[in-house]
Amino acid sequence: MTDNPFWDWSLDCYASPGVKDALLVLQDRHGLDVNLMLWCLWLAEKGREPGPALSPAIDIAQDWTRRVTGPVRSARREARKADDAADLYQGLLSCELAAERVLQDRLVEFWPHCPATSAPPELQAHSALQAYAEHCGYADGFDGLITAVFAPRETV
């Protein structure tokens, strides 16, 4: 695999208090893609906005999730319910993470098409997430996620 600063940032961000829960609620209740939300947040932190890359990024993510990540996620969740499928669950979890990495490798390629912005990261994140959500027919509800992502993180 190639170096992907978005993937590295996503792993760190996802592990931050409150981020995982906020992302999974938006995914499971409203059908939003965790990787696209992380991409919007990452761009905002880096002083970029999705701009014209948003629509093709959404298309790529929706197609990949429909064909690959979604079915693997569904299988993993079913395996978790079975008392005798712990090894299968772990294998599917690894497959799901690998599928998400492939999508993030594709999303990071849009970087050159994402214009710089001088908006504060929290404001830019809200704007990008709102544009993505509107594309999916979801209204709003990102304040908790944005707060969790942009709250100061402890550094070691």
In a domain, 10, yes or no: yes
In a domain, 20, yes or no: yes
In a domain, 134, yes or no: yes
pLDDT along the chain (156 residues), means of 10: 88 94 92 96 97 97 96 95 93 97 97 95 94 86 89 56
In a domain, 112, yes or no: yes
pTM: 0.92
Please give the pLDDT value at position 139.
75
110, 67, 100, 145: CA torsion to nearest 10: 80
Residues of the domain holding 11: 5-150
In a domain, 156, yes or no: no
In a domain, 118, yes or no: yes
In a domain, 155, yes or no: no
Please give the pLDDT value at position 136.
86
Cβ contacts of 99 within 8 Å, gap of 6 or more:
64, 68, 69, 72
Please give the pLDDT value at position 137.
85
**Considering its fold, how many domains does the chain have in total?**
1
End-to-end C-alpha distance for the chain, whole angstroms: 27
Please give the pLDDT value at position 1.
57
In a domain, 54, yes or no: yes
CA gap 75, 26 in Å, rounded:
20
